[in-house]
Amino acid sequence: MGLTIIEKIVRNNIGKEVRPGEIVTVNVDRVMIHDIFIPFVASKFEEMGFTKIWDPDKAVLIYDHLVPASQVDDTRHFRIGNEFVEKYDMKNIHRSDGICHQLMTEAGYVKPGNIVFGTDSHTTTYGCVGAFSSGIGYTEMASILGTGTLWIRVPETIKVNITGKLPENVMAKDIILKLIGDLGADGATYKALEFTGDTVENMTVASRMCMSNMAIEAGAKCALFSPDEKTAEYCGITLTEKEQDLVGDADAQYCRVIEYKAEEFVPVMACPSNVDNVKPVTELVGKNIDQVFIGSCTNGRLEDLMAAAEILKGKQVAPFVKLIVTPASRKIYQEATKNGTLAVLAEAGAIITHPSCGLCCGRTGGILTDGETVIATNNRNFLGRMGTSKVNIYLASPKTAAACAIEGKIVAP
Amino acid sequence: MNQFTGKIWILGDDIDTDIIIPTEYLALKTVQDMAPYAFSPLRPELAGQIKEGDIIVAGKNFGCGSSREQAPEIIKALGIQCVIAKSFARIFFRNAINNGLLLIENDQLQDAVKEGEEITVILNKAIEYHENQYPITSLPQNLVDILNAGGLVKAMQKLNSAKDCTI
Amino acid sequence: MGMTIAEKIIAAAAGVEVVKPGDIHTVELDRLMSNDGTTHLTIDMYNKLKNPRIADVNKLVWIVDHNVPCDSVKTAASHKKMRDFAKEHNIQFYEGAGVCHQVMMENHVTSGELIFGADSHTCAYGAVGAFGTGVGCTDYLYAMVTGKSWLLVPETLKFHLTGKLKEGVYARDLILSIIGMIGANGANYMAMEFSGEGLKTLRMSDRICICNLCVEAGAKTALMEVDEIALDYLKEHGREPKHVFQSDADAHFAKVYEIDLATIKPIVAKPHFVDSVVDAKECVGTKIDQAFLGSCNNGRIEDLRVGAKLIQGKKVHPLVRFLVVPASAAVYRQALEEGIIDTFMEAGAIVMNPNCSVCWGSCQGVIGEGEVLVSTGTRNFKGRAGHKDSFVYLASAATVTASAIKGVIATADML
């Protein structure tokens, strides 16, 4: 019987075939720790009695949530992180280069078929290059740093097949929001998502990233795209036979298959305060807004900034509305500088911040208060995520967000 | 301890990690410092009301959202004995087990109970409420091992002391 | 007897022929600037008035710059209060356009005006010969409601500048040296007036930097003689001077200082006082955690150019956080165009949106316990940049950039 992508990745990793439900111990190819949790990882690691990292080159430490520091104790995390890196001989550290999930693939830490864990729920992102990646807590991270292994339960797979050509104003974000709305916030819990069809084949790796990034919002353990030529180019590699084989077999067993026609997608928003509360933008038109946020590991990439710039070119952000743009990485920021995207956004009145998690993690970057409404391109609209519990957060694509910024109210792009 | 009784607090569906502990407070030094802010976006007074031995009864997808392990740690620090929910998000589930916080899945109890009442949990068997019994399942063995060791840190300590502190 | 520039501006604003130091006059104000540091408090007081009204809404300029983008729910509430009030009363409002004083210089201030700002560094406006002074929100509110205020005519200290700054020495070194010389209260209640041939060698950015920092010597205001450079600046920004005043030959000065610009050296103001000024060489080697190039004092395009030139092709020290914060959106756009932003990004700096940043010390790059910051900001008071037990050294853009590269306080000639 055939295998799904996740079943193949686990098989390749442990050297024997597996079936959903089996509990197995995998060898970890790479781990990612970010600034918020490094103090906890460090103390648990030592409390567990470990004296060295199983393979220091496989560990990556990234400062992103607290860059720049907004509270006086924040820099304590940097100090502890710097000490940890020094003590355990780690070389892979990024102190202000952008958001962890962007950097992991952009800087070449993740390759197709890898098994990667990170101390962040959006670690599912690396499925965009065909890696099995998932979020864990800091205690498990400490144990991986010591042992290089982790137990997992092989997940069942939901296949999402999308065919056809997307309408002009629809972005990958609209697809993943629609899917989360259809599945529900727990619709893929403990499961893997596998995306297939010519629509996703024609997508950039950046668009695939947006989708795998948000899979966790349906509870998914991981979200996989088969590696192809685009993946190879993005990763700067030639695909090996094993990597080329990371496709779901025709006779693989899926617990569910969902079919979408690309032409039927429309711009959507996730309405307050759940990611699965998804509605077409046309049903929400006219609502006044106070702020727009374009950024995050979901939608802070070059194509996202360019899509927004195209809409904002020669226009101005509405009076009393703030447009905050936070590129996902230093590289993206520089590319957007060089191709004039940032100049267009700045000219339109955008507040362009240094690459970091910014508003998405709710510690700085545009916190709001009671009664205010924000259109945001990030991944969560939970109660209190960006300020008080009376802030209304609508999640949308960069195109929709940019269009709303100009009008000062919800409009379709 | 094969069974215990506690007062219940009722929460709804999709109680996310940002509700359990908002990011704003994640850079506080200890879990004890963060505990007073638990559930603050939803019920700011709740953290102060919860007493040692209480039980949380919630709807589906409890703990969805981020990987922040402070979520189960804070619930434990508040004195909660166990969380009973219709379902749990997976990262939260792993984090809770690794910190020795007992989670029980049950999808009928929620609609029957009222906040402030007491229930009795008989481990690996059932929850008792007003003479009614709601059956519960037991955990896979590898997780029972971690729970029995007292959490993942203790399990790893055991492993390391067995190998004389080297890997 | 003749009058100084400060006296002439006050006389004009009070509608009298002559004023002398020590007089108290009721003056008509030209402009009233307020930022998110205190405007919410002003609004609270305004709302308690029996007959709340605004004398002339066209005089009001409100600027959100201290915490941009907003960093806490508390600040979000004050911002909303400010935004809603501005919207309701049709007040000129900026958010995210940059640090208030730079925004004012770019868009509003002109020679001979009398301006109240609810911020101590309002004295910056003297760079174009405007009398700018910082006030608290009670004074601000009174002025907002009546359009007027009372003013004690200050004595004037005259700084007669000659010569030219040496290469590698900046306006910031000059003003910090002056503050070091006269002390942190050396100009209390007084106006500091700058003139002389040396002034002609200073660009507008230098002049704003100098006037801006005069409050650190206790000055009520700072004023520079308006010359072609200042008039050109106004013209470029589409503004006409209101008055162009010079001090009379027989004006009375409390004291006259002669300063030869060529004698100024790169300096550093050590923690925790702006007048703890020493030769920069004395601080060389002090380990730093963060460097800051920005603020209303030193975040203009000219300052960024100095830093960019030094860091081009080099990297920020891995253990240093180098914050680069343009003083305004206009400065940011100019720096983008000139490739300066890219130079800093390539070097590993943290380039932030225009705001007050760590100079204000409540968000956007605060420093932690025991940490050391070398900064182009305005102040190095204890706790100003974050944790109460942290240390701030003030220096020029060149010294700050060199330090960011070296990881210790360093001067540009050490690169």
Residues A227 and A193 in one domain: yes
pLDDT-derived band at B149 (thresholds 50, 70, 90) equals confident
Nearest by CB: B67 against A136, A189, A217: A136
Domain with CATH 3.30.499.10 in chain C: 5-262, 269-414
Residues of B in contact with A124 (CB under 8 A): none
Residues A175 and A230 in one domain: yes
Residues A200 and A273 in one domain: no
- At A194 the pLDDT is 98
Beta strand residue intervals within A322-388, DSSP E: 322-326, 351-352, 373-376
pLDDT tens-digit series, residues B61-117: 999 999 999 999 999 999 999 999 999 999 999 999 999 899 999 999 999 999 999
Residues of C in contact with A347 (CB under 8 A): 333
What's the CA dihedral at A344, A308, C107, C40 to 10 degrees?
-160
pLDDT-derived band at B142 (thresholds 50, 70, 90) equals confident
Residues A289 and A166 in one domain: no
Would you say the ipTM is above 0.90? yes
**A158 forms bridges with which residues in the sheet?**
A193, A256
Is residue B166 scored above 60 in pLDDT? no
Residues A394 and A320 in one domain: yes
Nearest chain C Cα to A332, which residue?
A: C345
- At A253 the pLDDT is 97
Is B67 in Cβ contact with A118 (below 8 Å)?
Answer: yes
Nearest by CB: B89 against A134, A136, A186: A186
Residues of A in contact with C337 (CB under 8 A): 343
Is residue B137 scored above 90 in pLDDT? no
Is residue B158 scored above 90 in pLDDT? no
pLDDT-derived band at B167 (thresholds 50, 70, 90) equals very low
Q: From CA C4, how far away is CA C412, in angstroms rounded?
A: 39
Q: Rounded to 5 degrees, what are φ and ψ at A53?
A: -80, 135
Residue A294 belongs to a domain: yes
Pairing of strands C267-269, A115-118: unpaired
Which of A262, A283, A312 delimits the end of a domain? Answer: A262
- At B26 the pLDDT is 85
- At B75 the pLDDT is 97
* pTM tops 0.90: yes
- At A348 the pLDDT is 98
Q: From CA C213, how far away is CA C96, in angstroms rounded?
A: 23
- CB of C75 within 8 Å of a chain A CB? The answer is yes
Residues A37 and A154 in one domain: yes
CATH node for C5-262: 3.30.499.10
Pairing of strands B102-105, B82-85: parallel
- At C1 the pLDDT is 82
Can you list the domains of chain B with their CATH numbers?
3-136 (3.20.19.10), 138-167 (no CATH)
In angstroms, what is the C-alpha Rg of chain B?
16
Beta strand residue intervals within C105-147, DSSP E: 114-117, 131-134
Residue A412 belongs to a domain: no
Partners of chain A (3+ Cβ pairs below 8 A): B, C
Is residue B23 scored above 90 in pLDDT? no
Q: From CA A253, how far away is CA C375, in angstroms rounded?
A: 61
Q: From CA A44, how far away is CA A214, in angstroms rounded?
A: 29
Residues 348-367 of C with CB under 8 A from A: 348, 350-353, 357-358, 363-367
Residues 6+ apart with CB under 8 A from B131: none
Residues of C in contact with A71 (CB under 8 A): 366
pLDDT in tens, chain C (415 residues): 899 999 999 999 999 999 999 999 999 999 999 999 999 999 999 999 999 999 999 999 999 999 999 999 999 999 999 999 999 999 999 999 999 999 999 999 999 999 999 999 999 999 999 999 999 999 999 999 999 999 999 999 999 999 999 999 999 999 999 999 999 999 999 999 999 999 999 999 999 999 999 999 999 999 999 999 999 999 999 999 999 999 999 999 999 999 999 999 999 999 999 999 999 999 999 999 999 999 999 999 999 999 999 999 999 999 999 999 999 999 999 999 999 999 999 999 999 999 999 998 876 899 999 999 999 999 999 999 999 999 999 999 999 999 999 999 999 999 9
Residue A413 belongs to a domain: no
How far apart are the CA of B27 and the nearest CA of chain A, in angstroms?
6
Q: From CA A365, how far away is CA C121, in angstroms rounded?
A: 25
Residues of A in contact with C291 (CB under 8 A): none
- At B163 the pLDDT is 56
pLDDT-derived band at B124 (thresholds 50, 70, 90) equals confident
Q: 3-state class of C261 per DSSP?
A: helix
Tell me the CATH number at A145: 3.30.499.10
Total count of domains within chain A? 2
Question: Which candidate, A320, A316, A328, A319, places its Cα nearest to that of A377?
Answer: A328
Partners of chain C (3+ Cβ pairs below 8 A): A
CATH node for C269-414: 3.30.499.10
Is residue B17 scored above 60 in pLDDT? yes
Q: CA B114, B119, B123, B124 torsion: positive or negative?
A: negative
- At B1 the pLDDT is 57
Residues A75 and A166 in one domain: yes
Residues A257 and A283 in one domain: no
Which of A231, A262, A293 delimits the end of a domain? Answer: A262
Q: 3-state class of C280 per DSSP?
A: helix
- At C13 the pLDDT is 98
Beta strand residue intervals within A105-244, DSSP E: 115-118, 132-135, 149-153, 157-163, 192-196, 222-225
Question: Which residues form the domain of A375?
Answer: 269-407
Mean pLDDT by 10 residues, chain A (413 residues): 96 96 96 97 97 98 95 94 98 98 98 98 98 97 97 97 98 98 96 98 98 97 98 97 97 98 98 97 98 98 98 98 98 98 98 97 93 98 94 98 98 95
Residues A203 and A306 in one domain: no
How far apart are the CA of C13 and the nearest CA of chain A, in angstroms?
33
Which of A213, A243, A262 delimits the end of a domain? Answer: A262
CA distance readout (Å), A252 to A8, A11, A352, B57, C232: 11, 14, 46, 38, 75
Q: Rounded to 5 degrees, what are φ and ψ at A186?
A: -120, 15
Residues A298 and A209 in one domain: no
Contact A400, A267 (CB under 8 A): yes
Is C345 in Cβ contact with A366 (below 8 Å)?
Answer: no
